[in-house]
């Protein structure tokens, strides 16, 4: 669904079943057993509410900018081999904790040329080995200027569901919402080696708003 048509009611559509269940359970326990028993469930319901928030984002970066595909913290910036395109690349990884917004957004304007899903483990997504061992879903994009990049959703220790809504042949625009990962995770971005990196390890980034790199 394109950025212009995806409704932004502040809460992600993926969260409504969890929100409904958690608030209903809190209300029932409070009604039957009172506030002392219901309070922990109300706190959990508030946690679920903040986890599934999904604010609208407007990209203002210049055309050559690669924007962050996720909210979170930079945990890796390194030269590697892109395992999906089998070529040298610069890898930038964004770790999302349970308090970050978990919508995933396209980092560039481009066409989806491949989507590859791999089942795997669920080790802590903050660790670099998560890129190789965890459940993951990769989309390969060819930009309008001819560059090829790979954006990989990686499940984490708590995350147990990767959601990807795009398809091969689809055209994405920067900042367009294309997926969601439930409950803590990571996104790896593989860029051409000539890309100029604009972030460092430890930086806090916001999906669609922070420039991670610039393409020549």
Residue 185: active-site member? yes
- C-alpha span between 100 and 85 (Å, rounded): 29
Answer yes or no: are the C-beta atoms of 71 and 100 closer than 8 Å: yes
- Given a contact cutoff of 8 angstroms between Cβ atoms, the answer to whether 142 and 171 are in contact is no
Helix, coil or strand: residue 35: helix
In the set 68, 93, 103, 185, the catalytic residue is 185
- HSE of 138 in the Cβ direction (CA atoms, 13 Å)? 19
Q: Which helix (H) or strand (E) holds 131?
A: helix 130-133
On the CB side of 118, how many CA atoms lie within 13 Å of its CA?
A: 17
| Helix (H/G/I), strand (E/B), else coil: 13 | helix
Q: Where are the beta strands (DSSP E) in 144-176?
A: 148-155, 161-164, 171-172
CA distance 70 to 175: 10
Residue identified by tokens 């996720």 is 70
110 membership: H or E segment, kind and range: strand 110-118
Residues with catalytic roles? 185
């Amino acid at each position: 669904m394109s950025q212009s048509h995806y409704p932004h009611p502040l809460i992600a559509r993926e969260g409504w079943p969890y929100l409904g269940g958690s608030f209903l359970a809190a209300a029932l326990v409070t009604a039957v057993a009172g506030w002392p028993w219901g309070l922990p469930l109300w706190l959990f319901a508030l946690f679920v509410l903040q986890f599934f928030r999904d604010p609208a984002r407007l990209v203002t970066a210049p055309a050559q900018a690669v924007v962050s595909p996720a909210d979170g913290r930079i945990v890796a910036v390194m030269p590697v081999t892109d395992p999906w395109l089998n070529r040298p690349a610069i890898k930038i990884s964004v770790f999302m904790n349970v308090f970050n917004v978990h919508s995933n957004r396209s980092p560039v304007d481009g066409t989806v040329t491949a989507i590859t899903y791999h089942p795997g483990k669920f080790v802590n997504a903050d660790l670099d080995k998560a890129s190789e061992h965890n459940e993951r879903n990769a989309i390969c994009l060819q930009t309008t200027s001819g560059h090829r990049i790979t954006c990989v959703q990686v499940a984490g220790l708590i995350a147990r569901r990767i959601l990807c809504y795009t398809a091969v042949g689809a055209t994405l625009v920067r900042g367009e919402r294309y997926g969601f990962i439930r409950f803590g995770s990571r996104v790896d971005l593989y860029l051409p080696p000539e890309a100029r990196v604009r972030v460092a390890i430890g930086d806090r980034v916001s999906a669609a708003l922070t420039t991670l790199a610039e393409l020549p």
